[in-house]
Structure 1
Amino acid sequence: MSERSEFWGRHLAAIDAEGLSTSAYAQREGLAVASLYWWRRRLQADKPQRLVTRGGGGFVPVTVASPAHVSGRAVVVAGGVRVELDRLPNPEWLAALSGALARGVR
């Protein structure tokens, strides 16, 4: 690590340790905020990335609940009536239902 990297690395470590905002630390130390952010990105990019896994392989058990009601098909016909069916009906039957609803027959 170069002298410059160490210099900025110490400042970034101090920011983390003190819990100050980057701008407050920069103002107190007489440093440019933009330089601190630039060095933070640069030093992070130089670090090797590690995957963190927990326990046995990173899998967790999941329980999937079945939905309360699942309809196979839903058709909205005349008058905004929603008809839910397990499968689509005969087109002639659907046309007759739609026509009857349009005429006001219930």
Structure 2
Amino acid sequence: MRTKSDHWQKTIQAHIKSGLSAAAFCRQRKINIYQFRWWQRRFRKDETKSLKTKPGDFLRLMPDSEPQRDRKSGIQLYFPNGIRVEIEPGFDPAALRNVMAAIQVDQANPL
């Protein structure tokens, strides 16, 4: 039998994969948005406690397979709090720095 925690982890993962806003996802699935946000915050706190890196540390990124030479898109970064950043070829480095700074602020002040 699945626990509530398991159920909500799967629900939050489904939200991340859906690409929808939390409000749209909850409306579509008839989920109470406040309950959804509560579990989201709970998992963020758990993830934050388990992180071994300090702010400003870098993680080594390793590709999971050989690079695809014919790939038309750039790369995607997935963060533990559900944020996904897509970086397309020819991106603006200054804009990426601003996005990364905003993500750091968001992680320092979770919902």
Relative contact order, higher structure (CA 8 A, sep 6+): 2
- The two structures have a TM-score, normalised by structure 2, of 0.44
Which structure's CA Rg is the greater one?
1
Q: TM-score, normalised by structure 1?
A: 0.46
